[in-house]
Amino acid sequence: MNFIQTDNAPKAVGAYSQGVSTGNLVFFSGQIGLTPEGEMAGDDITRQTTQILQNISALLEATSLTKNNVVKATIFLTDIDDFAIVNGLYGDFFGDHRPARSCVAVAALPKNALIEIEIIAEKSEEI
């Protein structure tokens, strides 16, 4: 098992790792809309989602992976009415690649975030 860490995404805000690689899978911890410096990117769903997708790109890059290696995503929303906006940004990010996905409404997220996204990616070699 290898632990993933990059300064190009926000540091963990609790007792967890940015990601963990085991076998041919990489499990990335959920990302909220924090910049790599630890500041919330904005107070609206578009800015937070955009920052999350940038963080996901940075984490994938740190493991020599791309969005095409993502096999599963889970989206947590504090307001399910934001789904259409998130779905559009998410679709633009992944393009023709369509990983499995779940989306659930939750009561609250850390740091009063509006959204959190976690991913699982597959790799062909040990990192």
> What is 41-86 written as a DSSP string?
--SSHHHHHHHHHHHHHHHHHHTT--GGGEEEEEEEES-GGGHHHH
User: Residue 1 carries which side chain, given as an amino acid letter?
Assistant: M
Q: What is the pLDDT of residue 124?
A: 76
Q: Does 103 participate in catalysis according to the annotation? A: yes
- Owning domain of residue 90: 2-122
Mean pLDDT of 65-72: 98
For residue 6, tell me if it sits in a domain: yes
Other beta carbons within 10 angstroms of residue 58's beta carbon come to: 17
pLDDT tens readout for residues 31-55? 999 999 999 999 999 999 999 999 9
User: What percent of the chain lies above the pLDDT cut of 90?
Assistant: 94
For residue 88, tell me if it sits in a domain: yes
Q: Which CATH number goes with the domain that contains 30?
A: 3.30.1330.40
Identify the burial level of 119 via C-beta atoms within 10 angstroms of its C-beta, where 0-12 means exposed, 13-18 middle and 19 or more buried. buried
Mean pLDDT of 101-119: 98
Identify the burial level of 19 via C-beta atoms within 10 angstroms of its C-beta, where 0-12 means exposed, 13-18 middle and 19 or more buried. buried
Residue 62 reports pLDDT greater than 70: yes
For residue 63, tell me if it sits in a domain: yes
Q: What is the pLDDT of residue 125?
A: 57
- 13: confidence class by pLDDT, cuts 50, 70, 90: confident
For residue 127, tell me if it sits in a domain: no
Point out the catalytic residue in the list 25, 71, 103, 120.
103
Mean pLDDT of 82-107: 98
For residue 33, tell me if it sits in a domain: yes
User: What percent of the chain lies above the pLDDT cut of 70?
Assistant: 98
* Closest-CA residue to 111 (of 84, 78, 73): 78
Residues contacting residue 81 through CB under 8 Å, at least 6 positions apart: none
For residue 44, tell me if it sits in a domain: yes
Structural domains of the chain, count: 1
pTM of the model: 0.95
The arrangement of strands across the sheet holding 115-122 comes to 2-4, 19-22, 25-31, 115-122, 70-77, 100-105
